[in-house]
Amino acid sequence: MFNLITNNQYNVKNDVLSGVTVALALVPEAVAFAFVAGVDPMVGLYAAFMMGLLTSIFGGRPGMISGATGATAVVMVALVAENGVEYLFAAVILAGLIQILAGIFKLGKFIRIVPHPVMLGFVNGLAIVIFLAQLGQFMVKNSAGEFEIMQDSMMLIMIGLIALTMAICHFLPKITTAIPAGLVAIVTVTLIVVGLDLEARSVIDYVRDMLPADQAATASLEGSLPSFSIPMVPFTWETFQIILPYSLIIAAIGLIESLLTLTLIDEITNTRGQSNRECVGQGVANTVNGFFGGMGGCAMIGQSMININSGGRGRLSGITAALVLLGFILFAANLIEMIPLAALVGIMFMVVLGTFEWSSFRIIRKIPPTDAFIIILVSGVTVAFDLAIAVIVGVIVSALVFAWKHAQHIHAEVSTDENGYKVYAIRGPLFFGSAAQFKEIFDVENDPEHVVLEFQRSRISDHSGIEALDTLAEKYLAKNKKLHIRHLSPECRVLLKRAGSLCEVNVLEDPNYHVASDELG
């Protein structure tokens, strides 16, 4: 319905202008997630700078934007509250090292096994989460220090500016793509608010609302360069035990969100990112964050979509966004402080429209009911809990559905050969899901003295299948009947205990494939 991709070609101008747009959009997000984690806003801004710069240089997906994210921030809250921010920096370093190891051992490839219904659910759920996150911008702090929804003229101005921003983003690309529509919208709305002195909330208003009253008056986004510092925590086994659970969760959530975002951008741009390199890039960025006072993070789907929609395709777009953000912090904090929130909310609303898979409404009745259920399930869990849990749940449910469907496929064609042997020609895979049904195929009591199991058109996929075959062999041996097993792979024959000696080996005809089992090391 909304095709926001206006330029699929890489060039330096597009990358630079897109990077400036992304830098402006990064500010409120980084500040918001810093408050979520319970740390100073500058810790979030430093994270956005370092994550964006280092993942753009070392990561595996040009054009993808990383920074401080809500998915990782919610994990950090308890650690910061109980042990302090220095423990957070130590946990982020450890999380980064875990992610680097994931890349070295090439674990990033497993993101390719995420089923398409899970991807659809992930995209739709994340679009809803981005939308709901923007609703907080319609709240203001009253004189009693409590948040309430905007009233009267302020609300009308907010809605009007959002509508103007969305109109510029939608219609300007139809006229020209020389300048990113998002950048034009931010500049235009800012000039209108300043020129007409409209009652519109700005970025600094949002920051002040989030701070205690005694700090709000002097709040500023101006800062200095992040400095190197080893986290001031005891280097003991107890410290390691405290931070390890948080580090594992941060590393896992960060990689899942980053690699799914990478896959989404691959599909949008019809290119291919490097998932294992992205693991290393995320790890390097998080490790450096811990040593330079940042809260770490991962890929940001909202900002990545802004970048792609604005024409950013190369590494230069992410590098530009990071350096421009640092430039604002060092030299021009007053410029980003005056940007109206309405302009940034309008851009994020356009991201929601472009991210949500509207086609899922059209296909929901045409796809298998199980796939439709998985889409809805993953979307719901993403909104209710978080992305990592949603994806894990979706993959598990998809795997169970797959196993159940294939468990029904196993059967046997029964015949008698020229020797009078009863032949069971097995059809379908023998694995944990079909093992029980496999055992029901045979009539051990009434079968003749010689029985043949023919696996030429079947295969044993895991150790559960091996055990099922061994169990069947025991039943025939107990009845003093001879079981002949044909066309098993050499690996299967090694794993068989009771039935191994019953295999008829034909080197020229027997297949060669691997079985999922730990027994072969």
pLDDT score for 490: 80
SS3 454: strand
Residues whose CB falls within 8 Å of the CB of residue 484, separated by 6 or more in sequence, listed in order: 421, 450, 451, 452, 453, 502, 504
Quick check: 161 and 342 in contact, CB under 8 A? yes
Structure token pair of residue 328: 């604002």
Stated pTM of the model:
0.76
Tokens 């002195």, residue? 197
Distance CA 161, CA 186 (A): 10
Q: At what angle do helices 237-269 and 275-291 cross, to 10 degrees?
A: 140
Question: Can you say whether the dihedral through the CA atoms of 100, 104, 105, 107 is positive or negative?
Answer: positive
**Architecture, CATH, for domain 408-504:** 2-Layer Sandwich (3.30)
SS3 441: coil
Residues whose CB falls within 8 Å of the CB of residue 363, separated by 6 or more in sequence, listed in order: none
Alpha helices in 38-177 (DSSP H): 41-58, 70-83, 85-104, 116-134, 152-175
The domain spans of the chain are 12-374, 408-504
Type of residue at 356:
F
Query: Please, which contacts does 45-48 make with residues 24 or more away whose CB atoms are closer than 8 Å?
Result: 45/221, 45/223, 45/325, 45/329, 46/223, 46/226, 46/289, 46/292, 46/293, 46/294, 46/295, 47/289, 47/294, 47/295, 47/296, 47/297, 48/297, 48/322, 48/325
- DSSP string for residues in 315-343: HHHHHHHHHHHHHHHHH-HHHHHTSBHHH
User: Environment class of residue 507 by beta-carbon count within 10 Å: exposed (0-12), middle (13-18) or buried (19+)?
Assistant: exposed
Quick check: 250 and 296 in contact, CB under 8 A? yes
Distance CA 425, CA 76 (A): 57
Type of residue at 240:
F
Question: Can you say whether the dihedral through the CA atoms of 126, 131, 135, 136 is positive or negative?
Answer: positive
SS3 182: helix
Q: Note the pLDDT tens digit of each residue in 456-473.
A: 888 888 888 888 988 998
Quick check: 57 and 320 in contact, CB under 8 A? no
3-state secondary structure 352-387: HHHHCCCHHHHHCCCCCHHHHHHHHHHHHHHHHCCH
Distance CA 164, CA 346 (A): 8
Type of residue at 285:
A
Q: Note the pLDDT tens digit of each residue in 320-353.
A: 999 999 999 999 888 888 999 999 899 989 988 8
Q: What are phi and psi of 389, to 5 degrees?
A: -60, -45
pLDDT score for 331: 92
**Of residues 412, 462, 419, the one with CA closest to residue 438:** 412
Low-confidence ranges of the chain (pLDDT < 70): 1-10, 498, 502, 505-509, 516-521
* Length of the chain measured in residues: 521
Structure token pair of residue 518: 């730990």
